Amino acid sequence: MPAQPIEGGKATLALLPNGILHLEWEKDCTITADDAQAAMVAVNDLAEADGHPMLVDMETTRTVTRDARAVFATPCAASRIALLGSSPVDRMIANFFLGVNSPPCPTRFFTSRHMAVAWLQSGAHEQPASA
């Protein structure tokens, strides 16, 4: 399925042939609560009750607001989440989120797309988080 824009225009979402949801944020964007909520709605609509693993590409995200982090801490249709980044800023954003908020499902930060996808696929038999 080709990537579909998410309301607000800061991200796209696709269901990849391997069953992984791919949420990709635009370069240099600040993710607000409204952006986070639109992303969560799109994930839940696309995944329905199937509980897919999700790769969140945040390699060029500028920042995530406190209210957006709170939205991301609510359960959604993702069964596990791999946060993909490449810079020290990405790692700081992810570590802050993981340290302050309780993710709704297993969540890890990666700098390698290959390792992130392998980890997502390793949990294929886990129960999905309730949406």
What does the pLDDT average to over 108-123?
91
Taking alpha carbons only, the member of 30, 33, 40, 29 closest to residue 6 is 40
Asked if the structure places residue 17 within a domain, the reply is yes
Buried/exposed 33-47: b ≥16 CB within 10 Å, e otherwise: bebbbbbbebbeebb
Asked if the structure places residue 131 within a domain, the reply is no
Tell whether the model's pLDDT for residue 124 goes beyond 90: no
pLDDT of residue 86: 82
Asked if the structure places residue 38 within a domain, the reply is yes
pTM: 0.84
Structural tokens at position 65:
């607001």
Pure H helices in the chain: 33-47, 66-72, 88-100, 113-122
pLDDT of residue 104: 77
Domain holding 87: CATH number? 3.40.50.10600
Asked if the structure places residue 103 within a domain, the reply is yes
Question: pLDDT tens, 57-104?
Answer: 988 788 888 899 889 888 888 999 999 988 776 677 777 666 666 777
pLDDT of residue 99: 65
The total number of structural domains in the chain stands at 1
Asked if the structure places residue 127 within a domain, the reply is no
Question: pLDDT tens, 18-69?
Answer: 999 999 999 889 999 999 999 999 999 988 777 899 999 988 788 888 899 8
pLDDT of residue 50: 76
Asked if the structure places residue 130 within a domain, the reply is no
Question: pLDDT tens, 1-21?
Answer: 688 999 988 999 999 999 999
Asked if the structure places residue 106 within a domain, the reply is yes
Q: Could you list the residue range(s) of the whole structural domain that residue 90 is in?
A: 4-122
Asked if the structure places residue 128 within a domain, the reply is no
